[in-house]
Chain A
Amino acid sequence: IAGITQAPTSQILAAGRRMTLRCTQDMRHNAMYWYRQDLGLGLRLIHYSNTAGTTGKGEVPDGYSVSRANTDDFPLTLASAVPSQTSVYFCASSRDRDSPLHFGNGTRLTVT
Chain B
Amino acid sequence: LAKITQPISMDSYEGQEVNITCSHNNIATNDYITWYQQFPSQGPRFIIQGYKTKVTNEVASLFIPADRKSSTLSLPRVSLSDTAVYYCLVARNTNAGKSTFGDGTTLTVKP
Interfacial residues, chain A to chain B (CB-CB below 8 A): 4, 31, 33, 35, 40-45, 48-50, 56-59, 90, 92, 94, 97-98, 100-106
Contacts and interface: CB of A to CB of B under 8 A. Distances in A.
Contacts of A100: 34, 46, 49
A49 B95 CA distance: 10
Interface-centre pick from B43, B87, B99 (highest chain A CB count, 10 A): B43
Q: Which 10 A-B pairs have the closest CB atoms?
A: A103-B43, A98-B93, A100-B46, A42-B103, A43-B101, A97-B96, A42-B101, A56-B97, A48-B96, A48-B97
A57 B1 CA distance: 14
A105 B43 contact: yes
B96 A90 contact: no
Contact-residue size bin, chain B (C-beta under 8 Å from the other chain):
20 to 34
Given A42-B102, A43-B87, A101-B36, A106 B43 contact: yes
B64 to A, nearest CB: 15
B94 A97 contact: yes
Contact of A41 (B49, B97, B103): B103
B93 to A, nearest CB: 4
Contact of A105 (B34, B41, B87): B41
Nearest to A101: B46
A42 B45 contact: no
A31 B101 contact: no
